[in-house]
Structure 1
Amino acid sequence: YDYLMYSGYGVLAYLWAEMAEVAQRKLEEGTTEEAFYTAKLQTARFYFKRMLPRAKAHADAMISGADNLMDIPEEHFAF
């Protein structure tokens, strides 16, 4: 689960960086769709500021090992 979530956040970060780069270039070149590209940049900022930091918790969980999970006795799963 943690690896999947971590990977997803990373892939989306890459995609948002790509979209933000295109949006910035379009705004600098001049476009009739200024609101659209401005919204892309604002959404990218939101993702990097609010969503991407969640990846750290998943990374921490991945590297923490499974000792605490394996400490649960097998009989505790049969209720």
Structure 2
Amino acid sequence: YLMYSGYAVFAYLWARMAKVALDKMAEGTSEEMFYNAKVQTARFYFKRMLPRARGHAEMMLAGSDSLLDMPEEAFAF
């Protein structure tokens, strides 16, 4: 759950940073390279990092049947 939440929060933050960067570039800025780097990094995050959240979501939603099927004695070692 925490890993999935982390990916989701970072996606939100990168989306916000990219929006601000695009707005600044549209206004015209002397820091074009800085803001362009923000946008490029956001694209990288969404393309290469965020897809990892799918696996974490699947694990969260898979349930705990396999663990709960074990007898209580299996934990007493």
TM-score (normalised: structure 1): 0.86
Pick from 13, 19, 28 the counterpart of residue 11 of structure 2: 13
Q: Deviations for 1:10-55, whole angstroms, at most 9, x for unmatched residues?
A: 1110000000000001111110001100000000000000111101
Alignment-mate amino acid for residue 75 of structure 1: A
Q: Which contiguous aligned blocks of 4+ residues in structure 1 show a shift greater than 4 angstroms?
A: none
Q: Distance in 1 between matches of 2:76 and 2:39?
A: 48
1:47 aligns with 2:51: no
After superposition, the Cα gap between the structure-2 partners of 1:77 and 1:39, relative to the gap in structure 1 and judged at 3 Å, is farther
Q: Distance in 1 between matches of 2:67 and 2:76?
A: 12
Q: CA RMSD in A?
A: 1.4
5+ residue gaps, structure 2: none
After superposition, the Cα gap between the structure-2 partners of 1:19 and 1:77, relative to the gap in structure 1 and judged at 3 Å, is farther
Q: Distance in 1 between matches of 2:76 and 2:46?
A: 39
Pick from 19, 28, 32 the counterpart of residue 30 of structure 1: 28
**Alignment size in residue pairs:** 76
Percent of residue pairs bearing the same amino acid type? 66
User: For residue 66 of structure 2, what is the aligned residue in structure 1?
Assistant: 68
